[in-house]
Amino acid sequence: MRLTLARASLTRHRNRTLLAMLGVAVATAMLLDMVMLSSGMRESFRRLLVSRGFELRISPKGTLPFDTDATISDASGILRILRMNPDVDLVSPVLGGAVHVPTPTGPVTSLALGLFPSQQGDYELLSGRNPTAPDAMVANDDFLRASHKRIGDTLTAAAGYDPQLRTYAGERNLVITGRARFLYLSAGQLAVALPLATLQAMQGPFFTDRVSVFMIKARAGANADTLGAWVAHNVPRVTVISTQMALAQVDQRLSYFRQLAFILGAVSLVVGFLLVTTLMTVSVNERVGEIGIMRALGVSRSHVVQQVVLEGMTISVVGAVAGLGLGIVTARYLNGILSDFPGLPTAIDFFLFQPRAAWTALALLTVAGILAGIYPAWRAASLPIATTLRREAVA
C-alpha cells in the first residue's frame, strides 16, 4: 500500500518529479566523477608500475628515475652485487638518452632507451622481433611516422650533435626490427629502444659503464621492502624506490586533486540532499489536508513517515542510477582531455571506473534521499488532526 501511494503521489506531478530526478542524476554524475578522480590516477599509476612485475627501481642518489640527466656509474659492478641476492629474480638496467635521425625534411629527434631486450619492462612488442643484435632497434608508431620508416629499414642514428662543427656524434647504422608500445611515455612522444651496449657506445666513453635506472623484480614470496633495505645498505650511492614509496610520492603530488575531488563531491552530495528535501517539503505542504484525513481514518504516524520517505528514496535511487551512466560518459570525456597533459604517460587515467566508486555514489545518494524525506514527513505526521482538518476546510 505504501508503495502504491508513493507512486501515485510522484506521478501526480510528473514534470516536477522528472526534473527532481534529473537534478539528482546531475549531482550523482558529479559525485561519481569526483570519487573516480580521487582514486583513479593513483590506481592507474599503481597498475602501471606493477604491470611488468618490477617492484623496485634504483635511480641516481636523490633523484627519481629519469627525473634528471644524472646517471649511475659502475653499472656492471652494481649489477653483480644485485645478482648475489637470492631474492632478486630479475634486474633490468636502462640508460636513457636521445638519438637524431637525419631525414630529407630535417633531423628527427627521439628518446632512446638502452636496455637488455630479454629483461626489459619498458615496452611491449607489437610486431617484429626484439633488438637482440648490436645494430638492431625497435621503435614506436610515432617514430616510424616521423622518420618515414618501417620494419626492416636501415637508418643512420646519432647520439649527439655538435652545433659548432655541424656534425653528428656517435653515428651508427641501425636496422628497425620491431614495432613497440612504450609503457611510460606520453602521447605523441617519439621513442626507440636498442641494446644497452650500443647506446652506451654511441653516447661516448663517459657512458661506457653507466645507466639511468635499475629495475628489479623480486623473487616470488620475497618481501620487496626488505630487499629494498638490503640494496640501500649494499649500494649506498643510489636511491631505492619501491612501488609503495612511488605511490606515496604520487599521493603527495596529487593531494590537490584529492582535496578538490572531496570538496566538489561533498558539494554535489549536499545539492542532491537539498534538492530532494525541497521537493518533499513542497509536496507535503500541498498534501497536508490529505495527510490529515489519512490520520483521521486511523493511518498511523509511522505509515505516513514511511510513505514520504519512500517517495524521497525513489527519487534519489532512480536519479542516482541515471546519474551513474551520465557520470561514466562525462568521465570518459574529461579523461580524454586531461590525458593530453604534456609528459603524462598514456596509461595514466585521471578518471578510472571502479565498481566500488559506483556503489559508493549510489549508497550516498540513497542515504541522502532517506534523510531528505524524514524531516518533512515527520513534520506532516505530527500535525494535530483536528486543527489541520479545520484549517484545510476553511481554506
Q: Say which residue the cell 629495475 belongs to.
A: 215
Q: Is residue 70 part of a domain?
A: yes
Cell output for 379: 513534520
Shared domain for 311 and 377, answered yes or no, is yes
Shared domain for 70 and 197, answered yes or no, is yes
Cell output for 57: 627501481
Contact 280, 312 (CB under 8 A): yes
Shared domain for 115 and 202, answered yes or no, is yes
Domain ends where: 207, 236, 265? 236
Whole-angstrom distance, CA of residue 193 vs CA of residue 209: 18
Angle at 169 between CA 164 and CA 172, to 5 degrees: 150
Shared domain for 342 and 365, answered yes or no, is yes
Contact 93, 76 (CB under 8 A): no
Domain ends where: 189, 209, 236? 236
Q: Hey, how many other C-beta atoms are within 10 angstroms of the C-beta on 341?
A: 11
Shared domain for 189 and 264, answered yes or no, is no
Contact 214, 163 (CB under 8 A): no
Q: Is residue 220 part of a domain?
A: yes
**Alpha helices for the chain (secondary structure H):** 2-12, 14-50, 75-84, 141-147, 196-203, 224-234, 243-253, 255-286, 288-296, 301-338, 355-381, 385-394
Q: Is residue 121 part of a domain?
A: yes
Q: Is residue 198 part of a domain?
A: yes
Q: How many domains does the chain have?
A: 2
Q: Is residue 246 part of a domain?
A: no
Shared domain for 155 and 97, answered yes or no, is yes
3-state secondary structure 160-212: EEECCCCEEECCEEEEEEEEEEECCCECCCCEEEEEHHHHHHHHCHHHCCCEC
How would DSSP label each residue in 334-381?
Answer: HHHHHTTSTT-BTT--SS---HHHHHHHHHHHHHHHHHHHHHHHHHHH
Domain ends where: 202, 236, 270? 236
Amino acid at 38: S
Shared domain for 289 and 229, answered yes or no, is no
Shared domain for 269 and 199, answered yes or no, is no
Contacts 24+ apart (CB under 8 A), 170-174: 170/201, 170/202, 170/203, 170/204, 171/202, 172/135, 172/198, 172/201, 172/202, 173/135, 174/135, 174/136, 174/137, 174/198
Contact 131, 177 (CB under 8 A): yes
Contact 367, 272 (CB under 8 A): no
Q: In the prediction, which pLDDT does 167 show?
A: 66
Shared domain for 173 and 94, answered yes or no, is yes
Q: In the prediction, which pLDDT does 178 show?
A: 94
Q: In the prediction, which pLDDT does 128 show?
A: 92
Whole-angstrom distance, CA of residue 386 vs CA of residue 296: 8
Contacts of 231 (CB under 8 A, 6+ apart): 56, 58, 82, 85, 216, 238, 240
Q: In the prediction, which pLDDT does 386 show?
A: 62
Shared domain for 230 and 328, answered yes or no, is no
Cell output for 150: 618501417
Q: What does DSSP assign to residue 159?
A: S
Stated pTM of the model: 0.68
Q: In the prediction, which pLDDT does 162 show?
A: 63
Q: Provide the residue count of the chain.
A: 395
Shared domain for 200 and 73, answered yes or no, is yes
Q: Is residue 55 part of a domain?
A: no
Shared domain for 308 and 352, answered yes or no, is yes
Contact 243, 46 (CB under 8 A): yes
Contact 157, 100 (CB under 8 A): yes
Contact 335, 350 (CB under 8 A): yes
Range of the domain at 309: 2-48+255-394
Q: Hey, how many other C-beta atoms are within 10 angstroms of the C-beta on 335?
A: 21
**pLDDT tens, N- to C-terminus, the chain (395 residues):** 556 655 656 666 677 778 877 888 888 888 778 877 777 777 777 777 777 778 889 989 877 777 777 899 999 999 999 999 999 999 999 999 889 988 877 788 899 999 999 888 889 999 999 999 999 999 999 999 999 899 999 998 988 766 665 667 778 899 999 999 998 887 788 999 999 999 999 988 888 889 999 999 988 888 888 898 899 889 888 888 887 777 777 777 667 777 777 787 788 888 877 877 787 777 777 666 666 666 676 666 677 777 777 777 788 788 888 888 888 888 888 777 766 665 566 667 777 777 777 777 778 777 877 777 777 777 766 766 666 556 655 55
Contact 214, 91 (CB under 8 A): yes
Q: Is residue 242 part of a domain?
A: no
Amino acid at 349: D
Q: In the prediction, which pLDDT does 166 show?
A: 63
